Amino acid sequence: MSDSSSTWPDGRSASEAPAATPDAPHFQRSVGLFPAIAVNMIQICGIGPFITIPAIVAVMNGPLAVIGWVVGALLAMADGLVWAELGAAMPGAGGTYLYVREAFQYRTGRLVPFLFIWTAMLSIPLIMSTGIIGFVQYMGFFLPNLLPWQSHAIGLVVTALVVFALYRRIESIRSLSAVLWIIMVLAVGLTTAAAYSDFHLNLAMSLPPGSGDLGKFFTGLGAGLIIAIYDYAGYNTTAYMGDELKNPGRVMPRSIIVSIAAMMVFYLAMNVGVIGTVPWQDVAKSSSVASLVVSRNWGHTAAAIVTILILIAAFASVFAGLLGGSRVPFHAARDGVFLSAFGRLHSKHNFPHVALLVMGVITAAGSFFDLTTVINMLVAVSVLLQSVAQIAALTVLRRRQPELRRPYRQWLYPLPSLVALVGWFYVYYATDRQSQILSTAWLVAGVVAFLIWARVTRVWPFGPKEVQEVFLERQRQDDAGARVQ
């Protein structure tokens, strides 16, 4: 790792960096509850269900797929309550990075946040790559004979357009998010309406022989849960935008909870409608299930319109993901845990342009890989370096910083944390062996990289351990200022 990762643009060390001033570039708290819910829902949905319904129907034997959607929502909600407490107590641009930095600094210094950024710089853009892959797949409705190089070229162009759309002030991004949210709801709504316009209950309830075999059911549930949790991913997007939320203690928890509940209703309605229109065996084989359903019930023209909306929804998911994800390396760089260039805000529009551009490039590169492989790898990596670590962080912080103000406290604590922990381990177990090996290897490589970086920069374990309770200290300063006034 380069030694520049511990310095600011002017050459000073992180500990010598100037404090923020009113005139310095900073985020503006301009995102309210509805835009926050919209950003989450855009990222949750996107093109996910349109390309994964066939897969979850196949692994869970048709009608039982609804169980996968419900269990996925329960896991997402349990995990979402972890995000809600942490995000409301520590609203900043960084999400998980902030939480693990605060929780694990007492024993392991900068190791855990370093490992999170090490993974996030790869995993977040690759999640966006799945949106690009899905976009290209649905372009097959209009261009059925695309050659591989042509498909890749389309993916590169779409990624470039997303980055261009994000090169704006936060106010314009907020407005664009609202518009894209409406388009996403239309895409899901029209597909669902088309399905129910010729719905047959006997198709939706058609269970295959042997569906009562519990061994096969739980094997299928594991595979289905991987797909479902991928489709629910994004409920935490606003946690990466904590510096930009109005009243984050109220907006963040509500945006997470409402977006998960709303998307569960959408997914269930669409899934049941699809298998009630087309035999689930045919759904399982389809590469563009929404186009198939709408074309069958409403004709080719209607299918073309819905396909266009799906393409826009795919664009929207990549848009929202890069919007939130680009804040992660930015905040780490500001703390001296990542390359200093990623800590720069655009001089005019005040957004992390370096992080955005780099993640855009990685997103484009990831679009060249197979969708199933990317999903399994993403899930395996996220479980090890985000989900489990963050659940532990919530417990650690309750013990280490009990006086930290928590506008939202997890309902029925610690039950949701335990449910999430068991669920994530089950999901990891269900991923394919290759993904487990690769994710573990990536973690080991990150530890090696950290040790090299720590030796060069002379931080723990090769230097002093720095403990900075940033949010607790900020709270104390705010309270002292209030008493003076």
CA 119: distance to chain centroid? 13
Which residues have CB under 8 Å from 254's CB, separation 6+?
33, 36, 37
On whether residue 13 sits in a domain, the answer given is: no
The reported pLDDT for the residue numbered 363 is 92
The reported pLDDT for the residue numbered 316 is 79
pLDDT in tens, 146-187: 898 999 999 999 999 988 888 876 555 556 666 777 887 888
On whether residue 10 sits in a domain, the answer given is: no
The reported pLDDT for the residue numbered 42 is 79
The reported pLDDT for the residue numbered 86 is 94
* CATH number of the structural domain spanning residue 475: 1.20.1740.10
Which residues have CB under 8 Å from 132's CB, separation 6+?
155, 158, 159, 314, 318, 363, 364, 366, 367
Helix axes 111-139, 48-59, angle to 10 degrees: 90
**Dihedral of the alpha carbons of 414, 86, 171, 309, in degrees to the nearest 10:** -40
pLDDT in tens, 352-372: 888 889 899 989 988 888 887
On whether residue 87 sits in a domain, the answer given is: yes
Q: What is the pTM of this model?
A: 0.82
On whether residue 43 sits in a domain, the answer given is: yes
Total residues found in the chain within this entry = 485
The reported pLDDT for the residue numbered 299 is 92
Q: Is 266 left (phi over 0), alpha (psi -120 to 50) or beta?
A: alpha
CB atoms within 10 A of CB 133: 22
Closest CA to 270 of 207, 206, 196, 200: 196
On whether residue 354 sits in a domain, the answer given is: yes
On whether residue 461 sits in a domain, the answer given is: yes
The reported pLDDT for the residue numbered 10 is 28
Place of tokens 């389809």: 286
CA 81: distance to chain centroid? 15
Residue 385 three-state SS = helix
| Domains identified in the chain, total number | 1
On whether residue 20 sits in a domain, the answer given is: no
The reported pLDDT for the residue numbered 181 is 74
Place of tokens 């690759």: 126
Q: What is the pLDDT along the chain (485 residues), one digit of tens a residue?
A: 333 322 222 222 333 333 333 344 445 666 788 888 888 887 788 788 888 898 899 888 889 899 999 999 999 999 999 999 999 898 876 688 889 989 999 999 989 988 988 888 888 888 889 889 989 988 988 988 889 899 999 999 999 998 888 887 655 555 666 677 788 788 888 999 999 999 999 888 888 777 777 777 888 888 899 999 999 988 988 887 777 788 888 888 899 999 999 999 989 999 999 999 999 889 888 878 898 899 999 999 999 999 998 888 788 778 877 887 787 788 777 877 877 678 888 777 777 888 889 899 989 988 888 887 888 888 888 887 889 999 999 999 999 999 999 999 998 999 999 999 999 999 999 988 888 998 899 899 989 988 988 888 888 899 888 888 888 888 888 777 777 76
pLDDT in tens, 28-53: 666 788 888 888 887 788 788 888 89
On whether residue 224 sits in a domain, the answer given is: yes
Domain boundaries, position 368: 29-484
